[in-house]
Every structure is written in structure tokens, then in C-alpha cells.
């Protein structure tokens, strides 16, 4: 897959799955602007690591939960790269707790950071994509959006909302050759999963037919496929990258 000359925005690209996506797109020849919320050093490391591919890599501190910040980010990408072809909505947080213990703020914060951010960046990116009659949008959901998960009502609701949003916007934009798809990762090695103890990891692996936890690169390669010319006839779909957890 060759993305040479394409211009992309990746939200939440300083670590984990987001970082892997930035590096994968850059390795395919894509210019990438990625956002981060607070991890300045991590963002600088991604910039440095990606420069070897010879493409333009820009990091921008941005709060994806705010529409005004999303608009500024898209404008910055248009000014820096001269266009925008690809949007990957990856930014997100978790604030887990049982429903009876979950505060209203914890519910609102997760919905805003995970779901409203997708609205913010998609709305801001669509105008240039519609104008050029081309665009590729990939939204990162989660396996728990399908299965549910106790202690994560806010997170599950936000990720399930992303799936519904993806399908609605895919239908709205298809006539302009803009595809919109979602990826539902299973358990992937990230900062969050590294905190699990061995007993918790073993319990997770027992739920996975492939008997292993995924890597961020497993998700990044599917993103690369969905934004490539090889996926021109795919839109409104949810791709499960979960080792077989959901069949």
C-alpha cells in the first residue's frame, strides 16, 4: 500500500495505538499531523521516530473535545500540507467505575473526550474533503462497544456511539467519494493494559481464540488498508481486530 502524497490528521497520536498509526501512515509516504493533549515529550519522540520516512510530520497540542480546537487543527493541517485526505479519530480516555459509584463528571468527561471529539474533528474535516470529492475517515471504537464490559458504562457508551456515528456519516458522505469506517480493537498492549497483573492478563487471553493480546501495529495496519486505494469500495463498516473475540 502506497499513500505517497496523502495528507492525514491522527488525533491522540503520541502513544499506544495512535503512535503506531502515525508511524504506519508515515512509512507509507503520508504527511501526518497528529494531536496530543499533554504528553509533550512523547509527542516529540513520535516526531523524531517518524522523520526517517522523509515525510512531513507535525505534532500539535490540542483538546479534541472542543470544536474550536478541532477547527484550528484542521486549518493548521491545510496550511502546512496544502490539503487533507485522511482523518483518523483515535483520541480517547477512560474513567472506569461501577455505575453506582460513577460520578456524573466521569460519565460526561468520557463521552465528551471519546465521542464528541469524533464529531468535532469529522465536522471540521469534511468541508475540504467534500470540496475535493475525496476523503478517508477511520474512527477507533472498541470491542466492548459490541460486548459491553462491567465498570465501563461511560467508555462502552462512547465507543458504541462512535459505531452509530460512523454508519450515519458514511451514508451522508458516500456520494462524495468519502468513506467512513470504524475499527473495533480487542485487547491491545497499551499503557492501560500494561497496568494489568498476570492473573488479569491470563483471564483476558482465555477469552481470545488466538490466545494472545494484540499489538498497536495490528490496528495501525488495518487503518493503513482502510485509507488506501485497496479499500475504495468499503464504507460504513466496523472491522474487528480482536483475535476472534467477536465472531
Tell me the catalytic residues.
155
Number of Cα atoms under 13 Å in the Cβ half of residue 211? 0
Q: What is d(CA 244, CA 149) in angstroms, rounded to the nearest whole number?
A: 17
Beta bridge partners of 57: 32
Number of Cα atoms under 13 Å in the Cβ half of residue 67? 5
Per DSSP, helices labelled H in 40-139 are 40-50, 67-81, 104-111, 117-132
CB 109 within 8 A of CB 95: yes
Q: Which residues does 19 contact at the CB level (< 8 Å), separation at least 6? A: 13, 42, 46, 216
CB 139 within 8 A of CB 145: no
Amino acid at each position: 500500500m502506497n499513500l505517497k502524497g496523502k495528507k492525514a490528521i491522527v488525533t491522540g497520536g503520541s502513544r499506544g495505538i495512535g503512535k503506531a498509526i502515525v508511524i504506519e501512515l508515515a512509512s507509507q509516504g503520508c504527511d501526518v499531523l497528529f494531536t496530543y493533549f499533554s504528553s509533550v515529550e512523547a509527542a516529540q519522540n513520535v516526531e523524531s521516530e517518524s522523520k526517517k520516512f522523509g515525510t512531513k510530520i507535525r505534532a500539535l497540542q490540542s483538546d479534541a473535545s472542543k470544536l474550536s480546537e478541532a477547527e484550528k487543527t484542521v486549518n493548521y493541517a491545510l496550511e502546512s500540507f496544502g490539503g487533507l485526505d485522511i482523518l483518523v479519530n483515535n483520541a480517547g480516555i477512560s474513567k472506569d467505575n461501577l455505575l453506582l459509584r460513577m460520578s456524573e463528571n466521569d460519565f460526561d468527561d468520557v463521552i465528551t473526550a471519546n465521542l464528541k471529539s469524533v464529531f468535532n474533528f469529522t465536522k471540521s474535516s469534511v468541508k475540504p474533503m467534500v470540496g475535493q470529492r475525496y476523503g478517508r475517515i477511520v474512527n477507533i471504537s472498541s470491542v466492548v462497544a459490541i460486548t459491553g464490559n462491567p465498570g465501563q458504562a461511560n467508555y462502552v457508551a462512547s465507543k458504541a456511539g462512535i459505531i452509530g456515528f460512523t454508519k450515519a456519516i458514511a451514508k451522508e458522505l458516500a456520494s462524495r467519494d468519502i468513506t467512513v469506517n470504524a475499527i473495533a480493537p480487542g485487547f491491545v498492549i497499551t499503557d492501560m493494559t500494561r497496568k494489568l497483573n498476570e492473573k488479569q492478563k491470563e483471564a483476558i487471553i482465555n477469552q481470545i481464540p488466538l490466545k494472545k493480546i494484540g499489538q498497536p501495529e495490528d490496528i495501525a495496519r488495518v487503518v493503513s488498508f482502510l485509507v488506501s486505494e485497496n479499500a475504495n469500495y468499503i464504507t460504513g463498516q466496523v472491522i474487528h481486530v480482536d483475535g476472534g473475540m467477536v465472531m
